[in-house]
Structure 1
Amino acid sequence: MDNKFQTKVHPPIIYPKVSTHPPKGRSVCNFPPLSPKDALEERLLLQSVSWPETPKLPSPFTLEQTSDPAHSTFTIHPARGRGEWHVGDQLEVKIVISDFKGHPKKSGGDLLFARLHNLKLGAGVAGKVEDHLNGSYSAVFPLLWEGDAQVEVTLVHSSEAITVLNRIDSEEPDRVFFKSMFRSGSRSQTTICNVCLLPTQQPLCNFTDHRTGDPWFCYKPNNMSCDARITHTMGGYKKVLKAKEGKLLQGRVNFKVPIRAMGLAKVTVSPKNEGLQEVKSSIVNYTASGYYYQGLWRPLDGTKVRQFNNASAITQCLKGKMVHLYGDSTIRQFFEFLNAALPGLKEFNMHSPSKVGPFMALDYANNILMMYRCHGTPIRIRPISASQVHYIANELDDLSGGPDTVVVFCIWAHFGSFPIDVYIRRVQRLRSAVVRLLDRAPETLIIIRTANPKEVNISSALYNSDWYTLQRDQVLRAMFKGLNVRLIDVWEMVIAHHLPHKVHPDPPIIKNIIDVILSYTCPQKGV
């Protein structure tokens, strides 16, 4: 099994690798040294997710010279040489970003999403965006269905907003904080906890996991032992915006706002013509991971997705299986979906807090076990017993594995507010556990859920922006590339769909994801 690190990353949206800015404020996070191999990988990963230089904001500043979607445009390139489009061609779109005065920008660094869709056909595919570093961009789409194909380009964040997000990431690595209650007899105290804590006169309790090495600290309560910790819970959010920076993160103004077309916004696609040479992009050839047609997700990696539309089909697939779900609430959605879809699956009362877990459901007649457990700290969650905060890597090390074991995990939504090296190190340890599991039980099915874009709100932008998420998603893909795992590209599945972006995708998207999971679990014979 090849565990060699891959430096090439191919998410649906790729930007030029220009510079790397390691987060500042390292006095807050004093990590133990990495091995030479892991340190090299970390440097390569940081380079792979680096971003074009963005403008330094004057103080004070106005919106006038910042990216304005209302003054920006996109133009569809004509089909070269024949004036018509066919299935198999690539559609290329030129995007020009202008400021609030209508002047074209001279530098890059904006975050753009692109989608090609046909609502009547239930069709959609994510595009790939290239930054030319001069205020212009190209979006490339594969043409995969006959009929109309409408282009949609969205300014997610202006380059100036990314300047703010980069500053916050560098200066406020503890902008989300947590709490733990300590109890001894009738006395109790609550203190602040985090991956990294600023040094003060108050001593620290070190709760770094002794198996994985994942760091976690709490300020020590007065006159009480560190062993008296009984809970973990979300604490709150620090205020991180400086004066007027919020103007760069306004929904319906410059945060996830569509860009208008200059001319036609759609093309008509004719059937594939074997006698014609396919039109390819002048920028790059791009193959999406999949697309929707008639509302159904169709992967382009050769996977045949079956439709599991009733309880009988799902039960037959999962018969004799142990399904282990690990991660955050975006994985808990899968447990909730299957638990509701299968009348034979009965949830066992573990007296777990609602929406926290752990949860377990059993179907004795069909020998199905399904479990969900949230990942370890940092996880923003309702109060949970500290003893129930488990790391996925430890859970995987405790599994026997085998052909009847299905593992589905994700780890992304709670890491956007921390320095990216916190995430890199966590995924390195998780990958090592995956390798160990596959070494001892190579028939174990391991499925990884990628990240996805989220709602338009200021909290989402500051503490879990799509810009932060995109970089971590690229890291995840790179680190598991080459391993015997299956990837569910939820990033593209959300961008390609007509439903709005949500941290918890709507039921039609979840149904498509479940069909992919079950198709990996029970592949169609002969395919």
Structure 2
Amino acid sequence: MIPPAIYIYKNQTTSVEKSRAVLINPRSNYCTGENLTIQLDMFDYNGNRKNHGGDFFIARIYSPELGASASGKIEDFHSGIYHVHFTLFWVGKVKMSIRLLHPSEALPSLWKARNQGYGNVDFTGTFLNRTHEVTTNCSFQIQTEEKLCEYIDERDGEYFCCIKPDHVPCEAFSYMMSVNNKHSYLSHLEQTLIEGSNIGKEMKSPFESIDVLQCNKSGTLVKEKCITGMQNPFPSGYFLQKLWNPLLCSLPSTDIKEQMDKCLRGKLIFFMGESTLRQWMTYMTENLKTTRFFNLDEKGYHGTIRALDIDRNLQFQWNRHGHPFLTESVYNVKSLNTISQQIDQHVGGPNTIIVITIGHHFRPFPLALFLRRVINARNAVERLLIRSPDTKVIVKSENIREFSVDAERLSDYNGYIQYLTTKHIFQGLNVGFIDAWDMTIAFASYSLHPNIDVVANQIRIFLSYIC
């Protein structure tokens, strides 16, 4: 996936303005279910045709008046030519958007910056010494002659450390925070390629819109209910009237509040991961009017969140995943367990539901850290399903986010590699997969925290898996 691109000047890199998109086999109108293919011919800023692939695109078709949209699939011929394949799912006037997130020349730099070390983020640990607090530097790797406090999970191969404060035991490590530092692994020339103004540029469309008709008069194909263990293609579905329609299965047509009321009664629901799952919990508790929060033992915004609904005999709990958790807010490390450790604490059962997501907080660090964490999570799910095969486990992928973020640390390219990795590692398990990557591209939700329409549709899939 990492193109062997070498360049000396920015003018030798991919230019959206010089490149062109061409509709293959154009027609006056199209039929639902047919494929639409766009050819991209990429040129550099000097107007020279590119002779290698590796440019990183996202693509979508959409009909704003219908609340309809779907992702496109990119085919790279490794010659500067790409085909973007769309499936026409709905009737109406359809528009197209193809964005170049990064030119191929930027990807080796992003890969190098990510995997060169742990210097992109500074962690500050707080040790409690009676009535005083002592702070020190922490990380996954510290080059120092000073004595270290080392926190090791030998079974899972997890490691974290802090420089040991004087006269304070390592067990006094209690709180932590992080901050992105000004450090960079990139040269000035490499940095210019990932500046915000160069990310997410849109290709000029070869058409204003195309007309899609309902040519086939046969009845609608009846699809089975979404169940755990299903394969997940790409694209995995499409939006219509702002409702998500999976390709391989069907979602209930009833109101989502009615679904939650009936489906969640008597359930223990554990969300494990980061704040995009905390959005789920917020949405559900706000729409179940009898649910109440209670939190007694956590300091900081990112503490464990619990909620009870006595009328429905329902309990929610959200826990962040273990290191790294990136926030300038102070949080308690005593309750900071990896997802595999959290899963191992549950007996499971037919009323237990575990939802996990791992992604955004790992983007600034070497991929080996993420790989180990996801593999450990899969191993924990396997152990859970052996002792309790009727437990429901749902995996939500990470989503795309703002183009304006610090790309060296948080680029969607880093996220895309993690997205593919997560799909691969969890395949073959009896889990439900929610393709937040696909959904947020289709919806054009360029935000770390997707809007309420995307969150509600993710929860619709979740309810289908567990009900």
TM-score (norm 2): 0.92
Select which of 207, 211, 224 maps to 2:168: 224
Question: Does the Cα contact within 8 Å between 2:114 and 2:408 map onto a contact in 1?
Answer: no
Report whether the alignment pairs 1:481 with 2:427: yes
User: Any residues of structure 2 matched to 1:59-98 within 5 Å, and which?
Assistant: 61=9, 63-78=10-25, 84-98=29-43
Which residue identity is paired with 2:333?
A
SS at match of 1:509: helix
Give CA deviations for 1:120-142 in whole Å, capped at 9, x if unaligned.
11111111101111111111111
- Give the C-alpha shift of residue 511 in structure 1: 1.2
The answer for the alignment partner of 1:271 in structure 2 is: 214
* C-alpha spacing 1:386/1:250, structure 2 compared with 1 (3 Å): closer
The answer for the alignment partner of 1:361 in structure 2 is: 307
Report whether the alignment pairs 1:237 with 2:213: no
The answer for the alignment partner of 2:296 in structure 1 is: 350
Question: Does the Cα contact within 8 Å between 1:350 and 1:358 map onto a contact in 2?
Answer: no
Give CA deviations for 1:261-293 in whole Å, capped at 9, x if unaligned.
2x4253222214379xxxxxxxxxx86211001
Question: Does the Cα contact within 8 Å between 1:308 and 1:515 map onto a contact in 2?
Answer: no
- Give the C-alpha shift of residue 403 in structure 1: 1.2
Which residue identity is paired with 2:284?
L
- Give the C-alpha shift of residue 102 in structure 1: 2.7
User: Any residues of structure 2 matched to 1:513-524 within 5 Å, and which?
Assistant: 513-522=458-467
The answer for the alignment partner of 2:224 in structure 1 is: none
Question: Does the Cα contact within 8 Å between 2:307 and 2:315 map onto a contact in 1?
Answer: yes
Question: For residues 320 and 215 of structure 2, what CA distance do their matches in structure 1 show?
Answer: 47
User: Any residues of structure 2 matched to 1:299-448 within 5 Å, and which?
Assistant: 299-310=246-257, 312-381=258-327, 382-448=329-395
The answer for the alignment partner of 1:283 in structure 2 is: none
The answer for the alignment partner of 1:174 in structure 2 is: 119
* C-alpha spacing 1:287/1:490, structure 2 compared with 1 (3 Å): closer
Question: Does the Cα contact within 8 Å between 1:52 and 1:133 map onto a contact in 2?
Answer: no
Give the paired residue count: 451
Question: Does the Cα contact within 8 Å between 2:301 and 2:331 map onto a contact in 1?
Answer: no
User: Any residues of structure 2 matched to 1:25-104 within 5 Å, and which?
Assistant: 50-55=1-6, 57-58=7-8, 61=9, 63-78=10-25, 84-104=29-49
Question: For residues 73 and 353 of structure 1, what CA distance do their matches in structure 2 show?
Answer: 53
- Give the C-alpha shift of residue 375 in structure 1: 0.5
Give CA deviations for 1:2-61 in whole Å, capped at 9, x if unaligned.
xxxxxxxxxxxxxxxxxxxxxxxxxxxxxxxxxxxxxxxxxxxxxxxx323222x43xx3
Question: Does the Cα contact within 8 Å between 1:174 and 1:196 map onto a contact in 2?
Answer: no
Which structure 1 segments of 5+ residues have no match?
1-49, 276-285, 523-527
- Give the C-alpha shift of residue 505 in structure 1: 0.6
User: Which stretch shifts more, 362-371 or 210-219?
Assistant: 210-219
- Give the C-alpha shift of residue 404 in structure 1: 0.8
Which residue identity is paired with 1:390?
N
Question: Does the Cα contact within 8 Å between 2:397 and 2:436 map onto a contact in 1?
Answer: yes
- Give the C-alpha shift of residue 354 in structure 1: 5.0
Which residue identity is paired with 1:457?
S
- Give the C-alpha shift of residue 482 in structure 1: 0.9
Question: Does the Cα contact within 8 Å between 2:401 and 2:448 map onto a contact in 1?
Answer: yes
Which residue identity is paired with 2:262?
Q
Question: Does the Cα contact within 8 Å between 2:28 and 2:211 map onto a contact in 1?
Answer: no
* C-alpha spacing 1:250/1:222, structure 2 compared with 1 (3 Å): same
The answer for the alignment partner of 2:226 in structure 1 is: none
Which residue identity is paired with 2:178?
M
- Give the C-alpha shift of residue 308 in structure 1: 3.5
Question: For residues 170 and 479 of structure 1, what CA distance do their matches in structure 2 show?
Answer: 20
Question: Does the Cα contact within 8 Å between 1:88 and 1:272 map onto a contact in 2?
Answer: no
- Quote the sequence identity (%): 30
Question: For residues 50 and 389 of structure 2, what CA distance do their matches in structure 1 show?
Answer: 52
* C-alpha spacing 1:293/1:336, structure 2 compared with 1 (3 Å): same
- Give the C-alpha shift of residue 210 in structure 1: 5.0
- Give the C-alpha shift of residue 244 in structure 1: 3.6
Which residue identity is paired with 2:30?
W
Which residue identity is paired with 1:110?
D
- Give the C-alpha shift of residue 452 in structure 1: 1.0
Question: Does the Cα contact within 8 Å between 1:208 and 1:215 map onto a contact in 2?
Answer: yes
TM-score (norm 1): 0.82
- Give the C-alpha shift of residue 307 in structure 1: 4.4
Question: Does the Cα contact within 8 Å between 2:299 and 2:332 map onto a contact in 1?
Answer: no
Question: For residues 452 and 400 of structure 2, what CA distance do their matches in structure 1 show?
Answer: 16
Report whether the alignment pairs 1:132 with 2:77: yes
SS at match of 2:159: coil
- Give the C-alpha shift of residue 504 in structure 1: 0.8
